[in-house]
């Protein structure tokens, strides 16, 4: 087996834009027994494919004399949705103290993508030997968990009878929140806005990550300091107090928590000093700020549909000048786009059955134009098995259709939107629909398409458009609402930006993974945005 050792020290592998970290827990069952006088002493090694080579990332501890180990050491990996992250889990029986793997007996291995693991949350698979045959009855179980504290705290604060600091008026109070830093000094976490001319301020509610406020430790002391704002930056100290998030959470709607604001210098000087005012915690709520991975680990499936442009402007598919011409390498820009997006999204759909639709062609036997037809010519079952199935159906349909026109997007968008609308009736974060449209040019039904996109923006749905060829794609840029909000012809605004457009020509001379990163970069954010907007938590989420 061609394994390479990691560079020292082993750093995280992947692009610099990491969505989050995933913790993988490993168990083995019924492992091969390689020791004569006792049972195997297994350990697990994790590899990631980097530039076509398996690079070791980490190892577990050795489980002595155990054919059913549950390893305490966890693997921690940076997770990137828009990349295919290929992993290999190899188990060995430790025979010597050597770090060289060839010194140990091989017990079997299993390979898959990180996407496959997180979309299932937990998988159990057969271990294979180097010849591809099962390693006896050996199995491996891999469980994934997101490594992040996604709790956020929302505080609503007020003050009463704060000390007057200004000669000719009242104070201009604001609050600062601190937590203890690693160096033992207080570290600023949050500053409220200034409320002018009052000793009884009511600050706006604010939300901060719980990790930021107290490192996720509800019992940890935090310090709250109240100042009177001065425009020259020399803010006057009013008072302070120390508390904990656990204490703040004692606030009830009916009875707000009241904490004395103390000025230690005044307290020392004045015998009858009580306080420098009261800080009131009107409300304190801890909730979870769910991530894309939370929804995937919770069981959300990504439902993938492809829409392919078969209009006449693509050219005769038999001629090399055509965008649909399949070259001697068995590919073209349409197929490259299908592979780039499909190979990543297919990990997140359990049955891997994808509808593949065409538009802008005349179909046999009556040669009527269709803007929404199954490319496998089975309208009752337009599903293709995996990305390979889409590619096969595409290649098979080319000789049997006549390229025509016009280039209408709205029928296919509305087709997928109908399924997305049905999914909303479940009122759970269980399905999100992705439509990949691959086209060579100008949209003929722009008004209807704009209207369809605006309506789809209310649904669990995103649209990826890949423009092939060298046409003017200004209209596509217009649909991609990165710079402005898209409006329907009725004047209705899109609730959110759901269209991502990329021209394929920008990616002709770069690694094929680059296209996938570009088209899928916004998708995790769009998924989270939709479910949050609907107040839908992940299906299997824990309370905060």
The DSSP-derived string for 219-235 is TSEEEEEEEE--TTS-P
Task: Quick: pLDDT tens for 527-542.
Answer: 999 999 999 999 977 6
Query: Which tokens sit at 440?
Result: 């060579």
Instruction: Say whether pLDDT at 86 is over 60.
Output: yes
If asked whether residues 156 and 137 sit together in one domain, one would say no
- The enclosing domain of 375 has a CATH number of 3.40.50
**Mean pLDDT (whole number) for 8-22:** 47
pLDDT at position 137 is 97
**Residue 498, domain extent:** 300-435+456-468+489-502+513-534
Single out the residue in 288, 320, 337 at which a domain terminates. 288
If asked whether residues 241 and 305 sit together in one domain, one would say no
Instruction: Say whether pLDDT at 9 is over 80.
Output: no
Single out the residue in 147, 169, 202 at which a domain terminates. 147
Task: Quick: pLDDT tens for 461-483.
Answer: 999 999 999 888 887 877 876 66
Torsion (CA) 68, 135, 103, 5 in degrees, nearest 10: -90
If asked whether residues 348 and 496 sit together in one domain, one would say yes
pLDDT at position 5 is 36
If asked whether residues 165 and 202 sit together in one domain, one would say yes
Task: Quick: pLDDT tens for 359-402.
Answer: 999 999 999 999 999 999 999 999 999 999 999 999 999 999 99
Among the listed ranges 37-41, 150-154, 337-341, 428-432, which one has the minimum average pLDDT value? 37-41
> Among 81, 82, 73, 88, which residue's Cα sits nearest to residue 24?
73
If asked whether residues 358 and 422 sit together in one domain, one would say yes
- The enclosing domain of 31 has a CATH number of 2.60.40.150
**Mean pLDDT (whole number) for 47-59:** 95
Instruction: List phi, psi (to 5°) of 84.
Output: -85, 110
Burial class (CB in 10 A: 0-12, 13-18, 19+), 221: middle
pLDDT at position 11 is 34
**Mean pLDDT (whole number) for 2-29:** 57
Buried b (16+ CB within 10 A) or exposed e, 126-150: ebeeeeeeebbebbbebbbbbebeb
Judge contact between 471 and 340, C-beta under 8 A.
no
Instruction: Say whether pLDDT at 4 is over 60.
Output: no
If asked whether residues 141 and 196 sit together in one domain, one would say no
Task: Quick: pLDDT tens for 390-406.
Answer: 999 999 999 999 999 99
Listing from the earlier edge strand, what are the strands of the sheet with 186-191? Answer: 186-191, 173-180, 221-228, 236-244
pLDDT at position 332 is 94
Structurally, the chain folds into a number of domains equal to 3
If asked whether residues 202 and 132 sit together in one domain, one would say no
State if pTM tops 0.85.
no
Cα 423 from Cα 287, distance rounded (Å): 26
If asked whether residues 77 and 201 sit together in one domain, one would say no
């Amino acid at each position: 087996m061609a394994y390479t050792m990691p560079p020292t020290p082993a750093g995280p592998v992947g692009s610099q834009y990491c969505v989050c970290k995933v913790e993988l827990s490993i168990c083995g069952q019924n492992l091969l027994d390689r020791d004569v006088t006792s049972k195997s002493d297994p350990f697990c090694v994790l590899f990631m494919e980097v530039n076509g080579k398996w690079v070791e990332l980490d190892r577990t501890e050795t489980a002595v004399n155990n054919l059913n180990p549950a390893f305490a050491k966890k693997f921690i990996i940076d997770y990137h949705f828009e990349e295919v992250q290929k992993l290999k889990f190899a188990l060995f029986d430790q025979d010597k103290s050597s770090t060289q793997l060839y010194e140990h007996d091989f017990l079997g291995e299993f390979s898959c993508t990180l996407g496959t693991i997180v979309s299932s949350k937990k998988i159990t698979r057969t271990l294979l030997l180097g010849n591809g045959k099962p390693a006896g009855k050996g199995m491996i179980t891999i469980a994934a968990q997101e490594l992040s504290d996604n709790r956020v705290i929302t505080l609503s604060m007020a003050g009463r009878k704060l000390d007057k600091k200004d000669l000719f008026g009242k104070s201009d109070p604001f609050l600062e929140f601190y937590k203890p830093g690693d160096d033992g000094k207080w570290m600023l976490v949050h500053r409220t806005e200034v409320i002018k001319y009052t000793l009884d301020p009511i600050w706006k509610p604010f939300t901060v990550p719980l990790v930021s406020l107290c490192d996720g430790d509800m019992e940890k002391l935090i310090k709250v300091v109240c100042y009177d704002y001065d425009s020259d930056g020399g803010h006057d100290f009013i008072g302070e107090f120390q508390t904990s998030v656990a204490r703040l959470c004692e606030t009830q709607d009916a009875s707000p928590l009241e904490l004395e604001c103390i000025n230690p210098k005044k307290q020392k000087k004045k015998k009858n000093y009580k306080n420098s005012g009261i800080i009131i915690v009107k409300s304190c709520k801890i909730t979870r700020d769910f991530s894309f991975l939370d929804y995937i680990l919770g069981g959300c499936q990504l439902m993938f549909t492809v829409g392919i442009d078969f209009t006449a402007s693509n050219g005769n598919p038999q001629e090399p000048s055509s965008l649909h011409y399949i070259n001697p390498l068995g590919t073209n820009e349409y197929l490259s786009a299908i592979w780039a997006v499909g190979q990543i999204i297919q990990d997140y759909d359990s049955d891997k059955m994808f509808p593949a639709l065409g538009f802008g062609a005349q179909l046999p036997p009556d040669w009527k134009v269709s803007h929404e037809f199954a490319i496998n010519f089975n309208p009752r079952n337009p599903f293709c098995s995996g990305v390979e199935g889409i590619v096969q159906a595409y290649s098979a349909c080319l000789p049997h259709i006549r390229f025509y026109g016009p280039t209408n997007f709205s029928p296919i968008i509305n087709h997928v939107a109908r399924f997305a609308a049905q999914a909303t009736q479940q009122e759970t974060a269980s399905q999100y629909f992705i439509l990949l449209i691959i086209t060579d040019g100008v949209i003929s039904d722009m008004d209807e398409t704009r209207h369809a996109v605006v309506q789809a923006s209310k649904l669990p749905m995103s649209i990826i458009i890949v423009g092939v060829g060298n046409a003017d794609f200004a209209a596509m840029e217009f649909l991609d609402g990165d710079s402005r909000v898209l409006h329907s012809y009725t004047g209705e605004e899109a609730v959110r930006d759901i269209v991502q457009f990329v021209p394929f020509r920008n990616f002709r001379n770069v690694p094929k993974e680059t296209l996938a990163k570009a088209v899928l970069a916004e998708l995790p954010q769009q998924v989270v945005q939709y479910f949050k907007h609907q107040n839908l938590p992940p299906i299997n989420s824990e309370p905060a």
